[in-house]
Structure 1
Amino acid sequence: MDRDTLTAYDAAAAAFARDWHEQPPPTDLQALVRRFFVPGLTADVGCGSGREVAWLAANGFPARGFDASDGLLAEARLRYPDLSFAHAELPDLTGIAPASFDNVLCETVIMHLPHEAIAPAVRRLLDVVRPAGVLYLSWRVTPNDDLRDAHGRLYAAFDANLVRAELATAELMLDEEVVSASSGKTIHRIVARKTR
């Protein structure tokens, strides 16, 4: 994780959590989960304040949330004390065993990584999916050059082929660039089934 981005999330975790929970619900993401995810244990990597973990758990997908920000994890535990949240950071995801989840959700996280960490992060996300399980991966699209927002968060600019190359052994079921129903930002999202 980019250190300045992590510092920004930790420093203003309550404000970020409030903003996310006040956004419109991510109905497009929810529709894709219902369409593509298989029954079983689901990880939300980069779970933030836990909004998607709560939705997953309430809609038939037992879920665990993971995040690199201890501040955001504290917000998630405060909002959802009955759900499971733990510290894990891309690209390593230390503490998460290979092939341990039927589904993995990673919504708009990898653009916060330094360029050299993006490919290893995608490989590791697929690694924690069980065979025949599903990975949903999205990132905010930044044209041209990397940028930082007013909080200091990194938005890396990179070609989607970097991600596709790391998913070459998987079956791509969705690969599109859209405007998020929740944030209103342009995102690229891929849904892949692990074939082995």
Structure 2
Amino acid sequence: MTHGFDADYWEDHWREVGARDGHRQAPANPYLATGTEGLVPGTALDAGCGEGAEAIWLAEHGWRVTAADISAEVLARATERAAASPAADRIDWRPADLGTWEPVGAFDLVTTHYAHPAMPQLAFYERIAAWVAPGGTLLVVGHLQDPGGDHGHGHGHGHDAGHGAEDDQPPAHATVTAASVVGCLDPDAWEVVSAEERSRTMEGREAPLHDVVVRARRRTSHGAAAS
């Protein structure tokens, strides 16, 4: 199936999810906790925040979060969900097309979890990487590219919105490898902390999720070795 991943696509997608799943809430992606371990909380961007699980987790762990998504439908769901959190005032929910939106400043952490923009996937990662402050961290969680073409997971911003439905698989152009993500990062400007291809199971799904998880630190000065 071809997906344009434009605003209309995501509005329709999240309306369908809401109609099917009601108020069922997926937890934050488990790679977020491991990927931010040891970091001092500061400012964070959740690029393609979906239903807000990761943004809320970050806020509850001391981060001040800008949570951006192209879908007004899902931002309304996320805002409602965050209302129950004591850290709700630490989140700025931002309607934004991440292919054209420009933040005012840089962030100590930029993270994305399976967000698929209308632009090419790797170009999207390059774009959001530019928003990481010197000394800051980029954490990318994406769908693993399968040479056999059987991706085996849904694409709903990384949460289990798709329930593994056969017609809800990410197309090849929305998948990546750890090497391709690392290849987007200038080694003079970035220290790659970890780059993994992993699989995990999720409750309610028969097929495992196959993931790419890359954490990188922006060097404090271009061309300088990390301290």
TM range (shorter): 0.7 to 0.9
Q: CA deviation at 1:141?
A: 1.2
After TM superposition, the score normalised by the length of structure 1 is: 0.79
Q: Secondary structure at the match of 2:37?
A: helix
Q: CA deviation at 1:105?
A: 1.1
In the TM superposition, what are the counterparts of 1:77-156 in structure 2 within 5 Å? Answer: 77-81=79-83, 82=88, 83-92=91-100, 94-98=101-105, 100-109=106-115, 112-113=116-117, 117-144=120-147, 145=149, 150-151=167-168, 154-156=171-173
What does residue 55 of structure 2 align with?
Answer: 53
2: CA distance between counterparts of 1:159 and 1:28? 16
Q: What do you get for the CA RMSD once the two structures are aligned?
A: 3.0
The 3 A distance-change label for structure 1 pair 151 and 143 is closer
Within the alignment, does 1:163 sit opposite 2:177 as a pair? no
Q: Secondary structure at the match of 2:36?
A: helix
RCO (CA 8 Å, sep 6+): is it higher in 1 or 2? 1
Task: Determine which structure has more spread, i.e. the larger CA radius of gyration.
Answer: 2
Unpaired stretches in structure 2, ≥5 consecutive residues: 156-165, 222-227
The 3 A distance-change label for structure 1 pair 28 and 71 is same
Of 197, 200, 203, which residue of structure 2 is paired with 1:177?
A: 197
What does residue 16 of structure 1 align with?
Answer: 17
The 3 A distance-change label for structure 1 pair 150 and 136 is same
Q: CA deviation at 1:104?
A: 0.8
Letter of the 2:102 counterpart: G
- Structure with the higher fraction of residues in helix conformation: 1
Q: CA deviation at 1:42?
A: 0.8
2: CA distance between counterparts of 1:51 and 1:181? 18
1: CA distance between counterparts of 2:94 and 2:24? 20
Q: CA deviation at 1:47?
A: 0.5
Percent identity at matched positions? 22
After TM superposition, the score normalised by the length of structure 2 is: 0.69
2: CA distance between counterparts of 1:10 and 1:79? 18
What does residue 162 of structure 2 align with?
Answer: none
On the 8 A contact 1:43/1:103 being kept in 2, the answer is: yes
On the 8 A contact 2:41/2:61 being kept in 1, the answer is: no
Cα deviation 1:33-75 (Å, max 9, x = unaligned)? 223x332011111100111111111111121201122221121
Within the alignment, does 1:186 sit opposite 2:192 as a pair? no
2: CA distance between counterparts of 1:5 and 1:146? 24
Q: CA deviation at 1:7?
A: 3.7
Aligned residue pairs, count: 189
